[in-house]
Structure 1
């Protein structure tokens, strides 16, 4: 099965997991060998060196490229928004879609700076998911279709993709997913989102706890958790992560919501997120804990919490810098620079 033949059931999605390719270690070894020949002390460019080798590993070429980055933003609405879990009304979701279209959002500006293609995927905004504090967000068929939508959104030929989201109420869904996946207390995973006051935060925390309790019998595995507690955009991000793996396209995950969606893949298959980096540590309360659960180290920490792929798009500039140094620097032999003395 391939993204051109998207799965239509959870069984088909589970079958797809068995087809995920591994890394190209031969390309990574060649990239690592080049790093040791460049005119710098070994390791002196820190994570830029790691990024270059990671890109080579997943792009399958010793000289990685960053000429064609893409940012994908998945947009959906959530029934739980009616319970006052956000500082903004639900109609802001649709209004922000228009803002994206007309080039007025932060991610538009960052895509311009990073020379990244922006695609916005609007997912049936007139049909919010179910209120997770009262029952499941989606039926299995609806969730599978949303995953398939994400699978179809990934095209081959891009050097890397940033995955972002927009949807009033989606930090509540992400918090509930994390609580179900990793345990702990509800307040471990709930933050202020778009700027809730103390009363709103308390209400949101109680609703997340209630959502997990109400759906307890539906939380048998990661896909069931996604179906019961997630949202259409989270499901689409799951699909996009899987499609990117099939296409050997490296992924930058944005903030809390995108990373919560990625946690589903993490729980479904060992190494399922090896082709993903976390672009930044969000200021959202639970993101740091979630990143640690995934065994990742964010590239940036700038107190950002906007979503919409903003942090991941900004991190494209780090990838471009890593590629420029890796491909453009001279070797010791080319520059006639003496190597480090073996006695030191």
Structure 2
């Protein structure tokens, strides 16, 4: 069954934590609520879980209106970043606890606990207490406990944020594989864009209590609709256009060419964006056609092994710093400039995106 969130509003005093939020989550998908602190993503998750009472709107699971159903009656599995395991219970007993509360038989509980431990690859940890397990193992037990009662929805509230970088990367792959294997509809809250890009079928970018943009990771990265989404998902150069008369778009004293599809709307264009890896640098002495080529200077360079990040300033717009990302030891044109070099900056028309 799909989860349908309809016109949900939640306020704390004068602050609207959720401002008329509507969203449909298809059955079996993994959806990430992504955004900075205070954007409303955790409040929305808690509203879905029944841990926050909404002021208005509806939360529908299929044809069932859950808007005012208590959390204990929603049959949702919830996993928090703090694990919340019972410290005096073994891994097996932690998984069994929720089943005991639902009056499963001892035989049913034993079989389900074995199944869940096998699912998270921790059968050999069954008799260990939480303090005897690593953070990653504890979080897998917490997920197994949430899945044990066959919930209709799995809710993950920043489940990886308490782990170190390497364990976090390993566990995010495990959670994604586990979600696909079980086929359960899953909502995950995160502020980590890389985590969302790596795990989600759909990303919901939130800002100030409303949804800024919804789409697949590829759509949000390649076709952001606003400056906020462009800057929050990956890295993006935002180019403020020069104020000039007429319909032409000007940047650094030149007409800026864009794909026709990008400027087909009726709204005036004030900003365009381009990803750092889409920018090309060429020697200043190399003769190039005029379209979107600008004289510029390398201000700084950071070598990170597999990539180099450069900061480039157009000569005619010294107030604008453009990030360039080059893989390996040179960019796709085979040229590796150095700090202080004069270069030709190329902004390919097919990589420029109009931002509202």
Q: Which has the higher contact order (CA 8 A, sep 6+)?
A: 1
Superposed pair shares fold, TM > 0.5: no
Which structure is larger by alpha-carbon Rg, 1 or 2?
2
Query: If the length of structure 1 is used for normalisation, what is the TM-score?
Result: 0.27
Query: If the length of structure 2 is used for normalisation, what is the TM-score?
Result: 0.26
Between structures 1 and 2, the one with greater strand share: 2
